[in-house]
Structure 1
Amino acid sequence: MQEKIYQVAVGLIPGVGAATTKTLISYCGCAEQIFKTPKGKLKNIPGIGAVTVDNIYSASVLHEAESIVERAQKLDTQLLFYTDPDYPNRLKQIPDAPTLLYYKGSSALNPPKSIAIVGTRKATEYGRSVVRKLLEEIASYKPLVVSGLAYGIDIQAHRDALELGLETIGVMANGTNIIYPSVHKNTALKMLEQGGLLSEYTFDSIAEPMRFPARNRIIAGMTDATIVIEATQSGGALITAEIADSYDREVLAVPGRITDMASEGCNNLIKQNKAHALTSAADLIELLNWDITPSQQAHKHIILADLEEDELMIYAVLTDNEGIHIDELSWKSQLSMQKISSVLLEMEFKGIVKALPGKKFSLR
């Protein structure tokens, strides 16, 4: 519990964001040591100035963090620091991932398959029917369904997932102790038993406009693919799709008639080559290789079971990044260059990775 207090406290330090937190952790080793490292040594860390050091030594952040941890226990909410094994590994790979998540629910956040379904808040009957049909056709693959608990396509995805026995996560732009919009409270409560609610914002935080785009990066970052069912020319669904595309994650969009305003955003994503056209569940299944044979899947599980923790981190990054440079691989896996070189060599001996020209690597 003590280390958890320090982990929460890091995020409360004025002027210390995700990048600075990761720098401090890399030099100090853990959150607690950030607060126990002498000021002189902290000032020698690149990017850490005197003001930040003074803020680190402020006792108020530790007191506030202790209150948050105590409240989390009362509200049955997990506090997931980015070094926690339960933190979403897919999300950990993006450069602007939050260092701390508030999670209330029953589902694991590192499932074998995970998709985001987003769309307009003013969903048409066609859009709602597409959500239902898609989820019915992929239900046997048991993907985790992630969305934003908003009106329209989002809530449709959550409700259909629940009815079909799929686990579903709602990523929110407010504290997990607040259901927004409140009319979705009954659905949100069901999700706690068959999924969960996730946020980077502390308790009692309200859903301010600027927080929704930030929320969308979590939706895009913690899933293998973002599926846009319906979207107008602007809005949160397109922001999520753009973010997913920038993360090199798969984006799919359901095409619609050129006269339908609710399909303008989807049609444009496809036209700009930022999304694959989704005309049936088969498109998604083929794109994400869900149709891998049982023998191939069993072989993959055997390989993963034999990997050490550092090897699993590298494997996860290489799964989403073909032919990645060793520098970027080091950054995304949070392993030092010295460490990653030795681990990659061992993985080469095991026949799991292969070296490419230009200090790049990929899975075999």
Structure 2
Amino acid sequence: MSLIYKIALTMIQNVGHITAKHLLTRFITPEAIFKATKQALMEVPGVGAITAQHILSKEALKKAREHLKFIEKYQVQVLFYTDDNYPFRLKNCDDAPILLYYRGTADLNHPRIVSIVGTRMATSYGKLLCKQLAEVLAPYGVLVVSGLAYGIDVNAHQESLSHGIPTVGVLAHGLDRMYPQVHGAIAKKMLLNGGLLTEFPPFTNPDKENFPKRNRIIAGISDVTIVVEAASKGGALITADIANSYHRDVYAFPGRATDPYSEGCNFLIKTNRAGLISHAKDIPYFLGWEEPLLKPVPVLEELPEELNPLEIKILKLLKVSDLDIDQLSGQLALPQSQLLLHLLNLEIEGLLVSLPGKRYQRC
């Protein structure tokens, strides 16, 4: 029964996280709030006659009962602000949500939590950095958090899973849906090694105003936020600014001055809002982590189904070492004019990157 009152507290009209915390300070438990008198409620900062009437109307309790059916059916964990299993890092933030909905296996109070964020228009450079981060961080026993959005976010989740790192996606909507829908498959994998977390109750759409709220959870739940690629504006910069306001470490990879998706990273570094990292190995060093805690996990090879046998062979050759186009042409016995078409397709798929001197490298 107490769960109903916890959920209902987040559904009272005109009551946000701050007012909810004032109510808890005065009445101790959510149940006591709904059983208080109007006069007692109005003694709480931020609660006037109209808000008190919303509490007494029991409309929030009715909504909570509807959501409880979904929560019980899908075994959703409800993490309340005063519960022991509520993420302690997030609890230290003034604007922490009063309640979280969670599905997954990862410990949200994991000893080492790293958030990785960036642009939705990830380039081959950004994807390569995500891969390097996963390779370096895997032995340190970390939990990786991101927003399960297009681009850097989903690449961070994918590389984490490939390297055996538990990874949690923070959503801007309820757990009854997935946005974008195309990430449904990876979300299911994350439930087995990581999880999905949100402050939004079931049946909540991914409305525009929800994403900045989502970003504060990404920043607040982790020890450090790493910005891989970011344009001059966007959610990654918002997350970095929030992390700074929480006095958390923020680091960014620099990019060329002419790269539009490195403008944000370069700006963060230039304005001392993020420390500069030139390689993923900088993270354990800057955070003072000692020797790796775990043995490296073999990487799971996952290639798109639409690749043809020749393209798969190209990727296998590049897995051993970088090669230039002459070497690839010779080993494959294929004219360069035909080979270039396959190399271009693989680069578009984000599976390899072209280097100076007509050399190619696996991402």
Query: Shorter-chain TM-score: what band?
Result: 0.7 to 0.9
Q: How big is each residue's C-alpha offset from its partner over 1:44-71, in whole Å with a ceiling of 9 and x where there is no partner?
A: 2233221121111112211211221222
Partner of 2:257 in structure 1?
A: 258
Partner of 1:273 in structure 2?
A: 272
CA 1:58–1:198: 2 relative to 1, 3 Å: same
Partner of 1:215 in structure 2?
A: 214
Partner of 2:197 in structure 1?
A: 198
Partner of 1:360 in structure 2?
A: none
Partner of 2:61 in structure 1?
A: 62
Query: Any stretches of 5+ residues in structure 1 without a counterpart?
Result: 295-364
From the two aligned structures, give the one with the greater helix fraction: 1
Larger radius of gyration: 2
- When normalised by structure 2's length, the TM-score is 0.78
Partner of 1:317 in structure 2?
A: none
Partner of 1:79 in structure 2?
A: 78
Partner of 2:244 in structure 1?
A: 245
Q: Which protein, 1 or 2, shows the higher relative CO under an 8 Å CA cutoff with sep ≥ 6?
A: 2
Q: How big is each residue's C-alpha offset from its partner over 1:267-325, in whole Å with a ceiling of 9 and x where there is no partner?
A: 1100000000011233211222212799xxxxxxxxxxxxxxxxxxxxxxxxxxxxxxx
Partner of 1:139 in structure 2?
A: 138
Taking the aligned partners of 2:112 and 2:79, their CA distance within structure 1 comes to 20
Taking the aligned partners of 2:291 and 2:128, their CA distance within structure 1 comes to 28
Partner of 1:109 in structure 2?
A: 108
In the alignment, is the contact (CA less than 8 A) between 2:5 and 2:30 conserved in 1? yes
Taking the aligned partners of 2:8 and 2:292, their CA distance within structure 1 comes to 46
Counterparts in 2 of 1:126-165, with a 5 A limit? 126-165=125-164
Identity %: 48
Query: Any stretches of 5+ residues in structure 2 without a counterpart?
Result: 294-363
Taking the aligned partners of 1:259 and 1:116, their CA distance within structure 2 comes to 26
Partner of 2:92 in structure 1?
A: 93
Whether 1:8 aligns to 2:7 is: yes
Partner of 1:39 in structure 2?
A: 38
SS at match of 1:46: coil
Taking the aligned partners of 1:137 and 1:36, their CA distance within structure 2 comes to 53
SS at match of 1:197: strand
Aligned length: 293
Taking the aligned partners of 1:103 and 1:274, their CA distance within structure 2 comes to 31
Shift of 1:43: 2.1
Q: After TM superposition, what 4+ stretches of structure 1 lie above 3 angstroms from structure 2?
A: none
Q: How big is each residue's C-alpha offset from its partner over 1:107-137, in whole Å with a ceiling of 9 and x where there is no partner?
A: 1110000010011111111110111011101
CA 1:93–1:120: 2 relative to 1, 3 Å: same
Taking the aligned partners of 1:255 and 1:137, their CA distance within structure 2 comes to 18
Taking the aligned partners of 1:291 and 1:194, their CA distance within structure 2 comes to 24
